[in-house]
Amino acid sequence: MKVSTTRIPYLLLTCWLLTGCSQWRYDMGVPISSNNLPAQKTPLNEVLQLLGPPLRMSASDTGFIMAWEHWDIRENSIGITLGALGADFFSADWGEMRVKGEFLLMTFDHRHLLTSATHSDWDNDGGGGQAIQPFFSFISVVDVEDLIGPMPQHDWGSLLLQADLPSALNSGSNSDTGQEGLQQRATPKAVGQQSLEMD
């Protein structure tokens, strides 16, 4: 079938209105140099001079723990929707996420001497999905919310003032208070320190 040349612009315009491609890039923190990790028994002040203040910190039984992190999150999605034509009842979406990150964990004893240092980095598929939603768009095919949230220190004060009793009891097991250990972003609630909290 031969398409009339006068119809091509209409087809192009329709395609332009129907499809969309979105890219989101989140860069949180600065890369960590892992080439020269401090040796055991390095004093705290030398570590702080090298890396600056940590992003996460918690007391521990043998001293304290510090962590530095860097995240690079890439979210790509493409979708077809009739929204641009004024009809918000059909959408087809595809999306994927790539997560790169670094985490440096150090432990110190009560004399402020380094007892251990561990560096890890990763470049993983962070998930994604496809959806055809005929009436309303209920589901986002890529979910990055738990990775891009603000640091827990901003909520420290309000956490201690939570009035309802179960939450107050939970504060002792919450990793964001800085007294009971720490956890990375995106740690599921069913594992690690947070699993000690009550629902």
89 scored as a contact of other proteins (CB under 8 A):
no
| Other residues' Cβ atoms within 10 Å of the Cβ of residue 47 | 20
Question: Of all helices (H) and strands (E), which one includes residue 149?
Answer: none
Show contacts with other proteins in window 66-85 (CB under 8 A): 84
158 scored as a contact of other proteins (CB under 8 A):
no
172 scored as a contact of other proteins (CB under 8 A):
no
DSSP code, position 36: T
Do β-strands 56-60 and 114-133 pair in parallel, antiparallel, or remain unpaired?
A: unpaired
63 scored as a contact of other proteins (CB under 8 A):
yes
Show contacts with other proteins in window 26-45 (CB under 8 A): 26-30, 44-45
Q: Whose CA is closest to 147, among 106, 191, 78, 100? A: 100
| Binds other proteins by CB under 8 A, chosen from 59, 85, 168, 169 | 59
Q: Is 95:129 a contact under the CB 8 Å cutoff?
A: yes
Report the C-alpha gap between 57 and 38 in whole angstroms: 18
55 scored as a contact of other proteins (CB under 8 A):
yes
Could you list the residues that contact other proteins (CB under 8 A)?
5-6, 8-10, 12-13, 16-17, 19-30, 44-45, 48-49, 52-55, 57-59, 63-64, 84, 110, 112, 148, 150-151, 153-154, 156, 178-179
